[in-house]
Amino acid sequence: MNNKPTEEAKPMQVSRLWLIPIAVAIAIIPLITVIHIYDCGLEENPWFSIGGKLYDFFLYYKAFFLRLIGVLVLFAMSYLLSFGDRSFLKEKKTIAPTIAIGIFGLVSLLSAILSHEKVTAFFGGYEQFEGWFVLLTYIVCFYMAFGFVRTKKLICFLLDVLLIGATIIGILGTFQAIGLDWIQSDWAKTILTPELAGAMDLSKFNIKLNFGPGMSYVTLYNPNYVGSYVALVLPYALYLVLRGEKIWRRLLASLCSGLLIVTLLASRSETGILGLMIGAIVLAILLVAYLKKARPFIIAGLVLIAAGVATIVALQPGFISKLFNGTEEYSISAMTSEENSIRITTGKDQEILVTLDKNVLNESHWASSHKTPDILSIKDSDGNDISYSIDTQENAVTIQQDGYDPLKFRVESMSLDSNTMATYQKEYTRLTGKTMEYTASSEDNSDVFEDGQIDILRVIDWNIDWVMTPIEGKLMILNHFSRLDDLRPIEKAGFEGSYYFASRRGYIWSRTLPLLTDHLLLGTGADNFVFAFPNDDYVGKQYMGYDGQTITKPHNMYLQIWVQDGLPSLLAFLFLYFLFLVRAFRLCFGKNKVEADKGISFHSFTIVTAVATTAYMVVGLANDSTITVAPIYWILLGAGYAAESMSRKR
């Protein structure tokens, strides 16, 4: 009897037609770019704007079609498990990843069920659209690939569709790199804006983006996600350049690789480059087991990679300043509303109590009829007066006492335009239950609001200021959206003095870390990070340049999963990756080491998947999970598990 192992040892005979849904998720979903006009449902929060429709080009319809793909994959997998070969379920090594993916799905489901905003948790929300049904799609796509991509033919099929999609991404990104942004072109408007058809003159509709000319974001919503995409996909393109068994595949892979590199550089994603570097280190270590004669060259390559990182740091001071250019302390660390007072904590941990005369606040037009020093007092934590200078022309006082920063305070009347007045009226009614009129009224439930003027206290730190206005005797902040809110203590941890670390991620992480202890078991629910994050941190956001912006994600995939889906989900997610990495290493270094082979094979596909997923996980330190890239990761990781299983059977 001939027991010689073969490359395809009893493979599952699954037609490529069954894989069309996950092929679409790999190649087409990242390209979908169509406008969707919607109401995000955040208006009830005072840190968000009132009214107006929002436009989404990149995420909503990606999520919509991903959910459809999830349904199709679920039905396909159910059929194959019922009537096809399901022998992989009997393998002992199937148990661990199955348990991990089950924990991830179950805990994230419980987090969504118990979330504050359940519709958002299940269907996704503002600037994310990665709800639990999308997470479920990731799970079923992973398991479809894990269970049924067990022939070389199917691996080649997935690689081919990935290559085609990546080439299109590379073409679009390269055109953006040279200043030819397709999404800004006139011919693209009719394709991208079907919901506006007939409603307006599209020639007058401009798609406004925050990215300057020459910056690649392709169809992935953000240049950061270009880093995630290229770090994950480029290793497969290079793999096909070296291992592609057909000349057309190698030529297309070569073109794709070049385009992706240009796109990555134009995206200016340092984390994407870093991810590829770490992936290259993993590749070098795995190749040591097979290229014994080339070990000196591999070691030299590792040294060059390390030298490259050191060169970036040493020769480009801009790189360091970009990460750490905010090491100085700010004059104000926190502010809290206390009736007719504002308690200020300075960057030096000093406490300042700024108080306005309570009786004066009941007067009409009090700001224009009183001078600032006559109605304002400034005291320290012990109740002692803090000295200040007076600017009579500006009607302001400025702290002039040793050890204190020169904070300025000024009372004044501020004019509001018609839109701002309308918002202010709504806010006043929300807080007091009274209506605010423009002319005198005899009604008991209305107040006078003349000439669009309101009385305010302005707190000024150099060129940054905050506007406070009394509402029934209590000072409240008038924020960037002309809405009124309390100033409350904001929890923070870490990154003190380094809030600019990693392009201001230090600030976001410092406000995210305190949330972790609240979500050890269950999270806030998918896409509910926006509700957990202190978006009412008006002091910190103003200093960081985030005033008027809504923080919807932590810019760290691991913090994102922990806060939204709970710590068990994060541990399951990490376990799934590290288990695969360990199995890949055991293929190369274990006692049953698999010998090197040629062309596209289970073994080599396992290795490239270890490299690509590692690069993706590294980029996840500074980027979030996103529907533009995450489906590709889950599907390829599942296929990698399948390839490792088949390679181990040889």
**10-19 residue pLDDT tens:** 555 788 999 9
DSSP for 377-444, written as a single string = EEEETTSPBPPEEEETTTTEEEE--TTS---EEEEEEEE--HHHHHHHHHHHHHHHS-EEESS----T
CA distance linking residue 208 with residue 189, whole number of Å? 12
**What band does 320 get if pLDDT is binned at 50, 70 and 90?**
low
Contact predicate 540/511, CB 8 Å? yes
Say whether pTM exceeds 0.85.
Answer: yes
Question: Is the pLDDT score of 7 beyond 50?
Answer: no
Q: How many CA atoms lie within 13 A of 5 on its CB side?
A: 8
Q: What is the number of residues in the chain?
A: 650
24 membership: H or E segment, kind and range: helix 20-27
- Tell me which of 131-145, 152-166, 315-329, 538-552 is least confident: 315-329
Question: Is the pLDDT score of 275 beyond 70?
Answer: yes
pLDDT reported for residue 437: 66
Contact predicate 367/391, CB 8 Å? no
Question: Is the pLDDT score of 318 beyond 70?
Answer: no
pLDDT reported for residue 306: 73
pLDDT reported for residue 149: 94
Question: Is the pLDDT score of 650 beyond 80?
Answer: no
**What band does 25 get if pLDDT is binned at 50, 70 and 90?**
very high
Tokens of 280: 């290259």
The residue with greater pLDDT, 481 or 86, is 481
Question: Is the pLDDT score of 374 beyond 60?
Answer: yes
SS3 content of the chain, % helix, strand, coil (to 5): 55, 10, 35
Q: Rounded to whole angstroms, what are the CA distances from 564 to 58, 100, 130, 265?
A: 22, 17, 11, 31
pLDDT reported for residue 1: 40
**What band does 295 get if pLDDT is binned at 50, 70 and 90?**
confident
Beta strands in 479-525 (DSSP E): 484-485
pLDDT reported for residue 410: 96
**What band does 589 get if pLDDT is binned at 50, 70 and 90?**
confident
Q: Could you give the dihedral angle defined by the CA atoms of residues 535, 541, 542 and 544, in that order, rounded to the nearest 10 degrees?
A: -160
Question: Is the pLDDT score of 220 beyond 90?
Answer: yes
Q: Which residue has the tokens 């269970």?
A: 147
The residue-averaged pLDDT of 78-91 equals 85
Of the candidates 574, 533, 344, which has an alpha carbon nearest to the alpha carbon of residue 457?
Answer: 344
Residues in CB range of 515: below 8 A, 6 or more apart: 532, 533, 563
Question: Is the pLDDT score of 234 beyond 90?
Answer: yes
Contact predicate 525/111, CB 8 Å? yes
**What band does 200 get if pLDDT is binned at 50, 70 and 90?**
low
Of the candidates 427, 476, 430, which has an alpha carbon nearest to the alpha carbon of residue 456?
Answer: 476
pLDDT reported for residue 494: 85
Tokens of 277: 């570097």
pLDDT reported for residue 325: 53
Number of Cβ within 10 Å of residue 46's Cβ equals 19
Q: What is the mean pLDDT of the chain?
A: 88
Question: Is the pLDDT score of 417 beyond 90?
Answer: no
The residue with greater pLDDT, 163 or 298, is 163
Question: Is the pLDDT score of 188 beyond 90?
Answer: no
